[in-house]
Amino acid sequence: MKKSSLFKKSVLIISLALILVILGLFVGCTIIIPDTDQTGTVYLVITNHDWYFNIYLDSVSYSNKLGTTDVYGEDTFYNVPTGYHTFYAETDDGYYSGQKTQSIHTGPNYVNIQVYYNY
């Protein structure tokens, strides 16, 4: 009788543990896997200078160029991936540049960059 009772308890404990592990894996997978299709719109303004600035995302390279601001230092960029990003602004001649790191979320985002004279 004792063996039967002990066996039943063992089966019950193992079954509960197995259910908890399966539920934990299911919940963990839904939390860990990010939705990479989310993007936001960035309204970018150079706050202290009016001129054309090349805007780069996460590094200053031709492949990461988002575009060029208008003469007032403003532009709108669509479909920017969500998450933390660094926006770099630089004039063609390199005399003025600046950067801003900011979290981008879905919907509108406002990024203000202050630029500085480099020479």
- The domain of 98 spans 39-117
Tokens 């090349």 -> residue: 54
CATH number of domain containing 60: 2.60.40.10
> How many separate domains does the chain show?
2
> Looking at the structure, do residues 43 and 24 belong to the same domain, yes or no?
no
Cβ neighbours of residue 58 under 8 Å, at least 6 residues apart? 64, 85, 86
> Looking at the structure, do residues 62 and 15 belong to the same domain, yes or no?
no
Cα–Cα distances in Å, from 8 out to 1, 4, 20, 62?
11, 6, 18, 67
Tens of pLDDT, residue by residue, the chain (119 residues): 566 677 777 777 887 778 877 877 776 655 555 556 899 999 999 999 999 999 999 998 889 999 999 999 999 999 999 999 999 999 999 999 999 999 999 999 999 999 999 98
Q: What is the pLDDT of residue 33?
A: 53
> Looking at the structure, do residues 26 and 47 belong to the same domain, yes or no?
no
| Its pTM surpasses 0.85 | no
